[in-house]
Amino acid sequence: MPLATAPVRPSSVTAHQTSFGGRCRAAARALAGRFGLTALAVVPIGFLAIFFAWPVITIIGRGLVGEGGLDLTGFAELFSKARTWRLLGRTVGQACLATAISAAAAIPLAGLLYRRSFPGRGLARAVLTLPFALPSVVVGLAFRSLLGHSGPLGFLGLDGSMTAVVLALVFFNVGLMTRVVGVFWAGLDPRPEQAARVLGAGPWRALATVTLPALTPAIAAGASLVFLFSATAFAPVLILGGSTYATVETEIYLQTAQLLNLRAAAVLSIVQLGVVAAALAFGARARRRRERALKLTRTAQRAGSAGSGNAGTAGRVRWRQDWPAMLVAAAAGVLVVLPLGNLVFRSVHSADGFSFHNYLALGQHAVPGLPYSMLAAAGRSVLVALLAAGIALLLGTALAVVLTRRPRSPAGRRWQEWLDGFAMLPLGVSAVTVGFGFLITLKTAPFDLRTSFWLIPLAQALVALPLVVRGVLPALRAVDRRLIQAARVLGAGPWRCFWTVEAPAAAGGAAVASAYAFAASIGEFGATTFLARPDTTTLPVAIYKLLGRPGADNLGMALAGSVLLAAITAAVMALAEWRGGELRVGA
């Protein structure tokens, strides 16, 4: 019970302050007090500035600034082409559809998985999050082998259609969205809904008028994440859409990496930024409107932040009321399990029938072109992902703390809103733009990381950072300010206050956010894939390499490797759920 311990030792704090060291510390605190927020903000902002803003601005600038100075004719030229409008329409349409479907599925799923208890719930949650961890190449392949002409769902004729792309994006994102909404829902004060019911509202009316409005911040946060992931999806679009299907993201890749037409790429990147910024602004508005009004009770919040199984607000499944949610869950289950099951099935099937041959081959160093075995590549993947998640957790938590402070001035608040949006941008900017931007900016000491081992964890941390911020922020925001004030009045120092009041509340969220950061990193197949780097054959890269070689053995190993990747991520996710619960209780 963290709060109970806080007020117990004010005397020891006073005793400290009478000593010299204590006085010194108090002075340091006062100093830190003045510059504290800024200092805390400097590190993550510096990180984003050096590893994100600088490369992106430089490469866009190179496309826009010609020999005769700034040249904006590229805009007029591009927008006069029908193709550009088609690309833009498709990108926005695809992202909107994927977001809408994910949200429609995620809300009932969240209710079921985070507000009801039933056997196998933990497993259901874990399965739902698996797709997020798969490298997009594998997702694309898994879907194509389902929807392709000879696949079990080939009769649907979806191969090479926008529907296939949208389905894959929903497959990829629905677990993430469910988790964002579910954790928040589990932490909602159940009493307003109960009151509404007592006052005569039916379950649907209570849901529509009390619960859903209260969920708005989480839905908005989840939706903006899904939108960003969907608008900038690369491999699924490339693999599932067929070559006639192009989006702004694939066009930026084409113009940058293949044609080196930086002018066109710069214009497209700015267009992409515009779309992303609009989506972020929309999400932030929806979120803010609700967050102001929202109050979570401490107990409910604590029960929910880790999404632990024994939350006091969880009830049994009630069929009469829950059947629509069950139906959606079943549909989502089919969507998630079919491609995954297909993947597992094919990994244990060779020409001679059932065998573990592909899995045994993972440990062997027998693949020409891979500097080590697939197992070693898996080890490397885990190391890189741990580093990336660690960096993202540190920086993301620092950012989240800065974003929860309440500046007095309107300027300070505006600044904070900008920072919030800025931290999300890495999800919405083309991986190619960032990757090629790295090449032309990070070339002088101390930042010449272009061929360094650290390039990969840093680049992946960039993508994982927004996930951590989004995961930690709601939990921190939900902490009752009065608890912090009470702790301070009772003499707890800043550290103590953070560790005993805020950290326990945010620990569950942080643990799960780190697991997501880990998943995003271990399955990452974006900017860094396009860069040359030594000795960093991670598992997704090894899988991609195997897919590039003919022969059933190589394909089989690639499939087995994908299953291994999914298994590692599932284990980490499960650990986060479990340890998240432990942390919360033990802190």
Task: Output 213 or 242, the one with its CB closest to other proteins.
Answer: 242
* Phi, psi for 65 (deg, rounded to 5): -95, 110
Task: Output 82 or 199, the one with its CB closest to other proteins.
Answer: 82
State which H helix or E strand residue 411 sits in: helix 410-428
Task: Output 344 or 449, the one with its CB closest to other proteins.
Answer: 449
Taking CB under 8 A as the criterion, the residue among 63, 74, 151, 190 binding other proteins is 151
Taking CB under 8 A as the criterion, the residue among 72, 119, 149, 353 binding other proteins is 149
Binding mask 160-199 for other proteins (x = CB under 8 A): ----------------------------------------
Residue 383's Cβ-count burial label (10 Å; 0-12, 13-18, 19+) is: middle
Task: Output 199 or 445, the one with its CB closest to other proteins.
Answer: 445
Taking CB under 8 A as the criterion, the residue among 243, 292, 409, 411 binding other proteins is 243
The two structure tokens encoding residue 317: 């499944």
Question: Quick one: which segment of 72-80, 95-103, 255-263, 317-325 binds other proteins (CB under 8 A)?
Answer: 255-263
State which H helix or E strand residue 69 sits in: strand 69-70
Check residue 260 for interaction with other proteins (CB under 8 A): yes
The two structure tokens encoding residue 581: 């619960």
Check residue 318 for interaction with other proteins (CB under 8 A): no
Cis ω before 504 (30° cut-off from 0): no
Site size toward other proteins, by CB under 8 A: 88
Min. distance of Cβ 456 from other proteins in angstroms? 11
Task: Output 67 or 535, the one with its CB closest to other proteins.
Answer: 535
Question: Quick one: which segment of 107-115, 121-129, 256-264, 271-279 binds other proteins (CB under 8 A)?
Answer: 256-264
SS3 for 447-512, per residue? CCCCCCCCHHHHHHHHHHHHHHHHHHHHHHHHCCHHHHHHHHHCCCCHHHHHHHHHHHHHHHHHHH
Taking CB under 8 A as the criterion, the residue among 281, 485, 571, 586 binding other proteins is 485
Of the CA atoms within 13 Å of residue 231, those in its CB half-sphere come to 31
Contact 546, 367 (CB under 8 A): yes
Task: Output 422 or 436, the one with its CB closest to other proteins.
Answer: 436
Taking CB under 8 A as the criterion, the residue among 57, 257, 327, 366 binding other proteins is 257
Report 51-90 residues binding other proteins (CB under 8 A). 83
Query: Which 3 state secondary structure label does DSSP give 65?
Result: strand
Check residue 552 for interaction with other proteins (CB under 8 A): yes
Binding mask 331-350 for other proteins (x = CB under 8 A): --------------------
Report 506-545 residues binding other proteins (CB under 8 A). 529-535, 537, 544-545
Put residue 47 in one of left, alpha, beta given phi > 0 → left and psi -120 to 50 → alpha.
alpha
**Measured distance CA(438)–CA(432) in Å, rounded:** 10
Nearest alpha carbon to residue 534 among 371, 345, 415: 371
